Amino acid sequence: MDKLKKSWTSVNTKALRVLMPNLALKIAKKVFFRPKRKYSNWPNHVKQFEVNTRYGQLKAYKYGEGKCIWLVHGWSGSAFDFWPLMQKLAEKGYSAISFDFPAHGNSQGKFCTLPQMIKVFDDVSAGLFSPSMVISHGMGASVIANSNWFKNYHQDLLLISPILDIYLLLQSRVRLSGFDEVLFEQIIKKVSKNEKISITELCTIPKLKAFVGQLKVIHDTQDDLAPFVISEKFTQFSKVALVSTNKLGHNKILNSRKILNVIESYDSPCLKDILQWHNAS
């Protein structure tokens, strides 16, 4: 069945590209740059505010008082993904701030690209209190590492289930699905040209290797979206601490109690070496 579906996708997307190129690009845009939106209802006691950016108005959220921690969600995610963690951080004496990217959560927009997310992050960061720590999930790592803001950030950084090379990840998924590779490259080039940022050059690894702050990664070994092996290879040749969990996947890891353990370990020199937790919950 999978082979039949892959073959069907390949034939149809190739035919569409040849016969109706403009329609093909519109469909490709929907496939790759229209996230699955998740609206959220925040509790009344969470401070909510709006931030104006070059791509429209975004919704932002603040909870707790104390040292500031930014939380940056990934593709098809939202700030609300962090709500359980934000509550725990507030209990620990932190002020947690998160926001919805364009076309995500409660923010405006229908489409969104990684270059747009990077620019929006720079817009938002200019108006927020400086953080003592930044936490990202999934593609949030690519957003942070490729931003102009990141060049001057030297504090703590925690990457949860990071996508370290979005272009390679998209390429692999295109090949697995049977989607026409030529059409894929066409939409990538079009977006890169429009945004003046090449998606093919947005690998985060060189930027993270040059990062002078304290960096840690927590990743589930059975993540079906962001391959664990990439994080493993990255941390093997750097001084980055890797924390592994098992059977939590890409999203459930956000509710793992081990994330708080990792956050607290930033202040503990004895925990700077590589740590591994299996069967975490």
Q: Note whether 83 and 215 are same-domain residues.
A: yes
Token code pair at residue 129: 């209190």
CATH number, domain containing residue 227? 3.40.50.1820
**Residue 77: inside a domain, yes or no?**
yes
As a residue count, the chain comes to 281
Residue 261 lies inside a defined structural domain of this protein: yes
Tell whether 196 and 209 lie within a shared domain.
no
CA angle, residues 267, 271, 275, in degrees to nearest 5 = 135
User: Could you tell me if 148 and 58 lie in one domain?
Assistant: yes
Furthest CA-CA distance within the chain: 62
Is 6 in the same domain as 117? no
- In angstroms, how far is CA 38 from the centroid of its own chain? 15
Residue 72, pLDDT score: 99
| 149, 62: one domain | yes
| Alpha carbon 1 to its chain's center | 31
- Non-local (6+) Cβ contacts of 98 within 8 A are 60, 61, 70, 71, 72, 73, 79, 82, 86
Same domain, 130 and 61: yes
Q: How much is the pTM?
A: 0.92
Determine, yes or no, domain membership for 49. Answer: no
- Tell me how far the alpha carbon of residue 97 is from its chain's centroid: 16
**Helical residues (DSSP H) of 218-281, grouped into ranges:** 228-236, 258-265
Mean pLDDT of residues grouped by 10 in the chain (281 residues)? 86 96 97 94 96 94 97 98 97 97 95 97 92 98 98 97 96 95 98 96 95 96 95 88 95 94 76 39 41
Count of the separate structural domains present in the chain: 2
Assigned domain for 48 exists: no
Q: What is the pLDDT of residue 279?
A: 38
What one-character-per-residue DSSP string does 176-190 give? HHT--HHHHHHHHHH
Q: Which domain holds residue 10?
A: 1-33+171-201
144 and 231, same structural domain?
Answer: yes
Q: What tens digit of pLDDT does each residue of 85-129 get?
A: 999 999 999 999 999 999 999 999 999 999 999 999 999 999 888
Residues 213 and 145 in one domain: yes
